[in-house]
Amino acid sequence: MREFAIIHYMGTSKPIQERLKALKAEFDRLRVGKDALLHLIDEAEVTESVYNSNAIENSTLTLPETEKILLEMELSRRVNLREVFEAKNLARVISYMCSKSKDTDISKDLILLLHKMLMGNINDPVAGRFRGKNEYVRVGTFIAPAPEHVERMIENALVEYSSGHDMYFVDTISIFHLEFETIHPFNDGNGRIGRMIINWQLTRLGFPSIIIREKEKQVYYRGFVEYRDDKKIRSMDRLIALAVMESLHKRIAYLKGLQIVNLTDFAKTSDKPIPAILNAARRQTIPAFREKGVWKIGDGKTVEP
């Protein structure tokens, strides 16, 4: 990856680093002896993770439809068979990550394995391999590097990631994701594999998984444009950092045994207007989080937007 020091200079701000440090310390303190609860939370998030990641790639499935597919329930309309496999395969990849990520570091072979799991029964000829001769891909107006450079660039990105010990973890994860998606190593499935790698890396560092949501798609895509044009990582950094805060806030609320309530209902008991409360939730300056797209909070905390 190029201009590493310059990229680092524009990385995660100190205030956000301090907020994440405090949340992680609280999470680590509360999680002792509660692996079963954390596993239940992870399982409950699978449908939402699958839905959002596929929706970013323009899947037409709704969240309820995705849930029914994963539960092997009948749908009320005919859907594209490819989208059914996309949902089931991504859920399988997430399950594999949950069982293996704590013991296995990210590597080229692992990335290829995840891609094979993702693309099986969807596009078998390209599953589990990088782009080959004359296989070019385009994302909007951006044309990804030529296929003969892909493997070397992925190996370089992995080396840079593993050697970035002096950088803040959000910065190293953001840069790897931006590089991975810029390389676009596969003929199909790059975005979903890239977002899965983010969660693999977070889990390896002791953080919970995050969900990059379809509603944040424009901010997410803007991060790639800023990186490709100006080598800026601020948008991607902020998106990932806020998602990590949200994931920690959710788990802390459950680990504390707080009553989980809709944020709009909670706001009615506050002297702050609902728009201000929702804005604070989006900025993660209050311990709010989303479940199936609905903002919630653990009742019993003092809220100061």
How high is the mean pLDDT of the chain? 93
> Residues 22-42: what's their mean pLDDT?
98
Task: Indicate whether 255 belongs to any domain.
Answer: no
Tell me, what's the pLDDT at 140?
A: 86
CB 84 within 8 A of CB 100: no
Alpha-helix residue ranges (DSSP H) falling in the chain = 4-9, 14-30, 35-56, 63-70, 81-100, 108-119, 150-162, 169-183, 190-204, 217-230, 234-255, 263-267, 274-283
Task: Indicate whether 26 belongs to any domain.
Answer: no
Task: Find the largest Cα–Cα distance for the chain.
Answer: 63
pTM exceeding the 0.85 threshold for the entire prediction: yes
pLDDT digits 0-9 by tens, 122-153: 999 999 999 999 999 998 899 999 999 999 99
Confidence tier at 6 by pLDDT (50, 70, 90): very low
Q: What CATH number does the domain containing 96 carry?
A: 1.10.3290.10
Per-residue CA distances from 12 to 16, 20, 160, 174 (Å): 7, 11, 18, 10
Tell me, what's the pLDDT at 104?
A: 93
Enclosing domain of residue 88: 43-248
Task: Indicate whether 190 belongs to any domain.
Answer: yes
Structure tokens at 276: 């201000």
Cα pseudo-dihedral 105, 201, 27, 7, rounded to 10? 130
Confidence tier at 166 by pLDDT (50, 70, 90): confident
Q: How many structural domains does the chain have?
A: 1
Task: Indicate whether 30 belongs to any domain.
Answer: no
Task: Indicate whether 195 belongs to any domain.
Answer: yes
Q: Name the nearest CA neighbour of 281 among 300, 259, 304.
A: 304
Task: Indicate whether 264 belongs to any domain.
Answer: no
Confidence tier at 114 by pLDDT (50, 70, 90): very high
